[in-house]
């Protein structure tokens, strides 16, 4: 029995949450090292293992996968995890022992994510736990490049987490609107559907302003949140049941990369 083609996550949002924190750190530090390249490869390998691991766990629990699909999931989960573990061990030998804590937290959040997937697939808490786990790439990369986790690392981490929490609320707003199957929503209905998205946007902006007013980050760093703010407000204003989630995912992926570059450069 062959292992088949590689199992690749198809969710654009997941790729965005993995890549953007590292882009933000590269932009903030303005440099890269071979250790950072290894960590990037390890993080991507660990992320690639998520989908086959999830399939494997669900298949074992519910016996919902064929023998061939289970074999494919086992094979690719093993390959991805072996690559990630090998690269991780190299980094540990280089003295980056704090990575053990980051990896343990990410693994714990993956477990939470899986449990929530079983109970309520597509739930808000499920997606937020996934973001929390994937965003561990931010302090991990900063630690590898700077050798410590300082105030800048924490600020970058918080900003990235707030940004992606906002995108999760936005996507769930789109899903909720799609279920209505209506394109003639009134302004009041759009505001109601977008209430949690607007609240998350307000929290994100207030958090950024608070950090800038307390000198935790330069005031110019607030500019990094302008594109997502404009997009969110525009999206709520034109909210309807016509949603192309592939295009939405690509748009949010592009915005995430832009945000990562801006927050790194401006912070």
Asked which of 26-40, 76-90, 199-213 is least confident by mean pLDDT, the reply is 199-213
- Looking at residue 93, what is its pLDDT? 93
- Looking at residue 99, what is its pLDDT? 93
Q: Residue 126: CB partners within 8 Å, gap ≥ 6? A: 113, 116, 117, 120
- Looking at residue 224, what is its pLDDT? 83
Residues 167-191: tens digit of each pLDDT: 888 888 888 888 888 888 888 889 9
Q: Residue 222: CB partners within 8 Å, gap ≥ 6? A: 205, 208, 209, 212
DSSP per residue, the chain: ----S------HHHHHHHHHHHHHHHHHHT---HHHHHHHHHHHHHHHHHHHHHHHHHHHHH--S-HHHHHHHHHHHHHHHHHHHHHHHHHHHTT-TTHHHHHHHHHHHHHHHHHHHHHSTT-HHHHHHHHHHHTTHHHHHHHHHHSS--HHHHHHHHHHHHHHHHHHHHHHHHHHHHHHT-S---HHHHHHHTHHHHHHHHHHHHHHHHHHHTTSS-GGGGGGGHHHHHHHHHHHHT--S---HHHHHHHHHHHHHHHHHHHHHH-
Give the pLDDT band of residue 21 (cuts 50, 70, 90): confident
Give the pLDDT band of residue 238 (cuts 50, 70, 90): confident
Give the pLDDT band of residue 121 (cuts 50, 70, 90): low
Task: Output 182 or 38, whichever has higher pLDDT.
Answer: 38
Q: How far apart are CA 140 and CA 10, in angstroms?
A: 24
Measured CA to CA in angstroms, residue 102 lies from 18, 46, 143, 255 at distances of: 14, 13, 10, 26
Q: How far apart are CA 84 and CA 45, in angstroms?
A: 5
Which residue bears the tokens 């909210």?
Answer: 239
- Looking at residue 89, what is its pLDDT? 95
Q: Is the pTM of this model over 0.95?
A: no
Domain ranges of the chain: 12-266
Residue 20 contacts residue 259 (beta carbons within 8 Å): yes
Give the pLDDT band of residue 98 (cuts 50, 70, 90): very high
């Amino acid at each position: 029995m062959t292992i088949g083609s590689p199992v690749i996550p198809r969710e654009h949002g997941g790729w965005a949450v993995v890549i953007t924190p590292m882009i933000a750190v590269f932009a903030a530090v303005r440099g890269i090292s071979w250790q950072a390249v290894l960590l990037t490869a390890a993080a991507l390998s660990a992320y690639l293992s998520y989908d086959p691991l999830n399939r494997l766990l669900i298949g074992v629990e519910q016996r919902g996968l064929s023998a061939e699909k289970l074999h494919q999931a086992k094979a690719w989960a093993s390959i991805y995890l072996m690559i990630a573990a090998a690269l991780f061990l190299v980094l540990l030998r280089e003295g980056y022992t704090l990575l053990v804590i980051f990896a343990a937290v990410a693994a714990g959040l993956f477990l939470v994510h899986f449990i929530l997937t079983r109970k309520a697939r597509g739930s808000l808490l499920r997606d937020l736990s996934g973001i929390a786990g994937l965003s561990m790439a931010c302090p991990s990369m900063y630690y590898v490049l700077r050798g410590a986790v300082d105030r800048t690392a924490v600020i970058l981490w918080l900003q990235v987490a707030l940004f992606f929490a906002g995108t999760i609320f936005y996507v769930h707003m789109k899903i909720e609107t799609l279920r209505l199957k209506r394109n003639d929503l009134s302004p009041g209905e759009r505001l109601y559907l977008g209430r949690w998205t607007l609240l998350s946007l307000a929290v994100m902006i207030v958090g950024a302003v608070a950090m800038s007013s307390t000198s935790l980050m330069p005031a110019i760093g607030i500019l990094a949140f302008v594109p997502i703010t404009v997009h969110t407000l525009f999206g709520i204003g034109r909210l309807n049941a016509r949603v192309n989630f592939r295009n939405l995912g690509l748009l949010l992926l592009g915005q995430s990369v832009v945000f990562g570059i801006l927050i790194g450069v401006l912070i």
